[in-house]
Structure formats: C-alpha cells, structure tokens
Amino acid sequence: MSDPKSNGKTFRPRAETPKGFRDYFGTEVTERKAMLDKIAQVYHRYGFDPLETSAVETVEALGKFLPDVDRPNEGVFAWLGEDADWLALRYDLTAPLARVAAQYRNDLPSPYRRYAMGPVWRNEKPGPGRFRQFYQCDADTVGAPSVAADAEICAMLSDALEIVGIPRGDYVVKVNNRKVLNGVMEVAGLAGDDKDSERGIVLRAIDKIDRLGDEGVRALLGAGRKDESGDFTKGAGLSDAQTDVVMGFISAKRATGAETTTRLRELIGTSVIGAEGVDELEMIASLLDSQGYGADRIILDPGVVRGLGYYTGPVYEAELTFEILDEKGRKRQFGSVAGGGRYDDLVKRFTGQSVPATGVSIGVDRLLAALRAKGRGAADSAGPVVVTVMDRDRMADYMGMVADLRRAGIRAEVYLGNPKNFGNQLKYADKRASPIAVIQGGTEAEAGVVILKDLILGAKIAQNATLEEWKDRPAQVQVARADLVSAVQKMLAQ
C-alpha cells in the first residue's frame, strides 16, 4: 500500500496501542481469569445465572447519552449505524441489564439473579492507571423489592472477597441508605427540586470526608474552601445549623449497628422517608447477623455516600483495610474495590413501570492489584515444561513426550524454534518461566532415558550456592523414559 505523501515509499503503520488502551499478557490474563472463576463459583452458589450481552448497544438503550449535534461522544464510543441508529460500546454492565430485563421480561424468572463479567469502554481522558477499556464484574437481582436482596448481595460480596484471597480482617463491607440521607436533607431544609444544586454540592462534599477531614467538608458545606494552591471551590451555602445536621449524619457511626441506627433516628426526626431508610438498615443488619455476618465482615456506616445521587435505597461498598505504600512511599489503606446499591428505576425507561433492582460491581483491576500487593497472585505464574529438541529427525519422539505430559494434566510444549543452538533453547525456557527442561539426545534415546533439568533450582543456586534448603537436591536428574511423567510430577511438587 502506498501513501501519496510518502513519495512512493511503502506506508507502515506505527505498532502502538491507541491512547488510553493497553495489552494484557500471559500471567495478567491467567490471574484475572482465575480470580473471576473463583468469584463466579460464589455467585453460582448463591443461585445467580451468568449473562453475556453484546459489547454494542443502541445509544437509545444506553439511555444516558443521546445524540447531540454530530455525534453523541460524551463519555462513550459511538457511531452512526447503517440504519441511521446511533450505536455505542457499553460503558458499564448495568445498562445492558436494563435492556435485557425489559426485552425478556415475559421469559425471565422474577426475581432475576444474574452476574456478568467483561470489558467496558468509556471515552474519557486517560491518566495513570486509568484506561478507556477495563473489566467489570457485576451481580444484580432484578424484581425483588425486599431488602433481603440487598443483604444477600452484601453477604455474597463478603464471600467473594474471601474466596479470592482477602482474609477476614483485611476488608470490610460498609452499608448505608440513600433514604436516610434524604431524611437528613429534609431536616436540614434541603428537600425539594429547587434545592438540587445545593444537594449536589453536599453529596460531593460528604464524599471528600476521608481526604479533607471535618474542617474541609464543613467549609464546602458553608461558603466554600480554598485549597493549598489558592484555588477556591464554592460551597453549598448552608447555615451553621444546617451544616451541623449534615456533619452529624457523617459521624453517626457508633460501636454497634444498633447504636448507629439509634443515632440516625435522632438525626432524621419526623422524616418519613428517613425512618423508612433506618428501618431498612435495621432489617439488613438483622438478616446478615442471622447468617453469621458480623461486624468483622459487614458494618453499618453512614459515611458511605459514593453514588448516592444514583441509588434509591441501600448502598454498600467493600473497602480493603490493609496498608500499602503509595508512589511517594507513604503508608495508606488500599481503599475501595467494589460498590453498589439499590436502583429501583432500572427498567422504567423501557416499560414505564418501576422495577426494583439491586446489585454490586467489583473493580477487577483494583482487586487484582490488591491481591498482588498482599503477595497473593490469583494464578500460578509458572510456565510450561519445555521438551527440548536435540535431533530434529526425532520430532515424533519429542511430541510423544509432550503428549504424555499433557494427558497427565501437566502444562508442556516442544521447542519449535531452530534447534541448532541448544543454549537458545534453554534461554527460551527461561523466558517462558519454565520450571523444567526435558532433554534427550541420541545417547539417551538408545539407553531409554531422559534428563530433567530443574530450571528453578538452577536459578536459585545461581543466586546463592550455599542455600541450605536446596543443597540436597540435584539440579539435573536422569530417569527412565517410562518414568517421565511421574518424575516430572515429583519435581513440580517440590
């Protein structure tokens, strides 16, 4: 292919990923799959069914983004289809669920429990650790108005974290309720459509409590706040009395769930919606307690406010409590890896009828990063056993060895490059993180034996020849060809 601007030279595209995207190799893919498989086991045990939807939806079905002037590009990757419908890559796994629940409402059981795992795409400015394509892992129940469904999601989330390798004590699932906050807003004089702007500022201010502390949030609830750089952020303009009510809500968490709900009842006063929210929190706590999910796993915490503008009832967030070092070497808690809640207007756009729904989304990349930080990779990173080729005319023999190993469930491969340089074969095995190299030249073939080279032991000895734990193990052994499989299994077990 020639480019007219290249003076007749062959055009060659640049070999690079598009901005904001990345490639995943070997261990990264297997770790993710292993982790998601374990989570799927938990979801399946709870009675949830898997669902895979198309990566492409109509913009109309996505609902959140509509055509503007030329292209609906606010937050999504969209294009005009052949039939004049705008299409877009899904930006989450919840919007497709809404479409499915409406489209198949006469065929699906009600309530409908489903889980979904897969990539989503957002047309947003990329940054460090922030990509335009990333994985989500969701579980939702559609059609269940009872908060028992919310309690079930919280219990399932707790079990999922533990099964992938986050032990009890290293995480906590926090539960709150949007209705309680609505009641607090009523008491603070912030109810009504004319107060939308103030409520939005209040929500954003509460969400910054961990970063700004009480003083910073108070400033944002009042006249505003000037940060260290001198930039000023306009506040909600609340009076001192109104601010005290909101701050009381943020700090309402007590030592026990019962004490927390008692304090919340004091704050919401005579608000009907607020009382309903506290009742729901008490019910969730009771249901979880009856199943053995105590405060060491799940707690009531009014400080959970993320996404409260979207949710209609209970909300929950999984936070990892162990410490890591940030990019500046400072200690900090790892933070949130999952969140969700009740959103009862899920299907209403399609049917005109309110359909109750609740669900959770796990940040796959963040949870994987947490497992690595704890030294608990989700999958074995060892490469395959490599059968080297000493004589290219005996490839059938080498293929027979690999077949025997594979039939025994051992990951194995034959070296398929140029066998002329044996050193290159061992370099290849090293690059593949292979634990063992199998060697058989003509002399070994005549004797009916093979040589097994322990590449992991060899690397250890190269690092420290005096290691006591390795000194009694030979780095290379000769075994009968008939014993190849059992000998490899024994070496791998070591």
Q: Place 327 in a pLDDT band, splitting at 50, 70 and 90.
A: low
Range name among 166-180, 186-200, 345-359, 368-382 with the lowest pLDDT average? 368-382
For residues 115-154, one letter each, b for 16 or more C-beta atoms within 10 angstroms of the residue's C-beta and e for the rest, the string is bbbbebbbbeeeeeeebbbbbbbbbbbbbbeebebbbbbb
The pTM of this model reads 0.82
pLDDT number for residue 379: 54
CATH number of 18-145+344-381: 3.30.930.10
CA-nearest of 204, 160, 125, 202 to 45 is 160
C-beta atoms surrounding 12 within 10 Å: 9
| Portion of the chain with pLDDT greater than 70, in percent | 90
Query: Domain boundaries in the chain?
Result: 18-145+344-381, 164-343, 385-493
CATH of 385-493, one of 3.40.50.800, 1.20.1250.20, 3.40.50.300, 3.30.300.180: 3.40.50.800
How far are the Cα atoms of 121, 264, 351 from residue 34, in angstroms, in the given order? 23, 41, 38
pLDDT averaged over every residue in the chain: 87
Q: Looking at per-residue confidence, does 73 or 308 come out higher?
A: 308
Rounded average pLDDT over 228-249:
87
Do the domains at 18-145+344-381 and 164-343 have one common CATH topology? yes
Q: Does domain 164-343 have CATH number 3.30.930.10?
A: yes
pLDDT band at 67 (very low <50, low <70, confident <90, very high): very low
